[in-house]
């Protein structure tokens, strides 16, 4: 199956992939940044809005946004978007608490969840659709994009893994699942270096803005 052609077909027909939800993780306080990353301006929006808009434009069946830190300030940004807000009041205990909060907002019909990071504003709709097309062609417990031989985000987890995510310790993300399912992970080659680019520090943010300005100068 030619995944690039399948993605083009999905985009043309605006097909929603049945049973796959997007979960945007945006609850953290950005301790390394020292300010709320979700609210940082980028491309005439905030970084979080960029991620959410890419997810909404994709073939995901629905989009859930997990909020915690400064949720009252962030939620109004999304009020006109067709998303479900999942609040994580214990976000300070680690990323696994946000993974679980997202899963608990799913319906029984959800077959898989694509976890997107709220600080990766360059993730494109095309990359999301490529991951979804790969999962449809070959359902696997974990589907992960790869660029230049290195895995990145967003990552899709099937329902088979949900109980294992629920069992994670609070201060751990889903990395242990990569070892547990090592022989069954489907990797998807993409031509998108942004799967490796998240904004953790002020330096990362400055680099993101400089890259954006450089691209505009090339137009």
CATH number at residue 213: 3.90.550.10
Name the CA dihedral angle for 204, 205, 210, 211, rounded to a multiple of 10 degrees: 70
Decide: residue 8, CB within 10 A, 0-12 exposed, 13-18 middle, 19+ buried.
middle
Local confidence band at 12 (pLDDT 50, 70, 90 cut-offs): very low
**Cβ 36 vs Cβ 73: under 8 Å:** yes
Q: How many folded domains does the chain comprise?
A: 1
Q: How many residues does the chain have?
A: 219
* Strand-pair partners of 219: none
Range of the domain at 12: 3-217
190: pLDDT strictly greater than 50? yes
At 218 the pLDDT is 40
Report pLDDT digits (tens) over 135-162.
999 999 999 999 999 999 999 999 999 9
Backbone dihedral region of 163: left (phi > 0), alpha (psi from -120 to 50 degrees) or beta?
alpha
Mean pLDDT over 161-185 rounds to 89
* Residue 197 exposure: Cα atoms within 13 Å on the Cβ side: 17
Report pLDDT digits (tens) over 51-105.
999 999 999 999 999 999 999 999 999 999 999 999 999 999 999 999 999 999 9
Report residue 108 as tokens: 């029984």
Question: Could you give the percent of the chain with pLDDT greater than 70?
Answer: 87
Alpha-carbon radius of gyration of the chain = 17
């Amino acid at each position: 199956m030619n995944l690039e052609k399948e993605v083009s077909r999905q985009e043309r027909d605006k097909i929603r992939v049945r049973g796959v939800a997007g979960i945007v993780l945006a609850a953290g306080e950005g301790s390394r940044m020292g300010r709320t990353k979700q609210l940082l301006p980028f491309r005439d929006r905030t970084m979080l809005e960029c991620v959410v808009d890419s997810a909404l434009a994709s073939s995901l069946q629905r989009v859930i946004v997990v909020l915690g830190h400064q949720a009252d300030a962030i939620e109004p940004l999304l009020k006109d978007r067709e998303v479900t807000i999942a609040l994580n009041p214990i976000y300070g205990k680690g990323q696994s608490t946000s993974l679980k909060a997202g899963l608990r907002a799913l319906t029984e019909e959800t077959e898989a969840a694509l976890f997107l990071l709220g600080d990766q504003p360059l993730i494109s709709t095309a990359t999301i659709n490529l991951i979804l097309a790969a999962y449809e062609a070959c359902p696997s417990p974990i589907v992960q994009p790869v660029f230049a031989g290195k895995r990145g985000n967003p990552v899709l987890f099937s329902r088979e893994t949900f109980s294992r995510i629920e069992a994670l310790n609070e201060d751990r993300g889903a990395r242990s699942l990569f070892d547990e399912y090592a022989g069954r992970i489907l990797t998807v080659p993409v031509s998108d270096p942004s799967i490796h680019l998240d904004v953790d520090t002020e330096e990362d943010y400055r680099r993101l803005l400089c890259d954006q300005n450089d691209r505009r100068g090339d137009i």
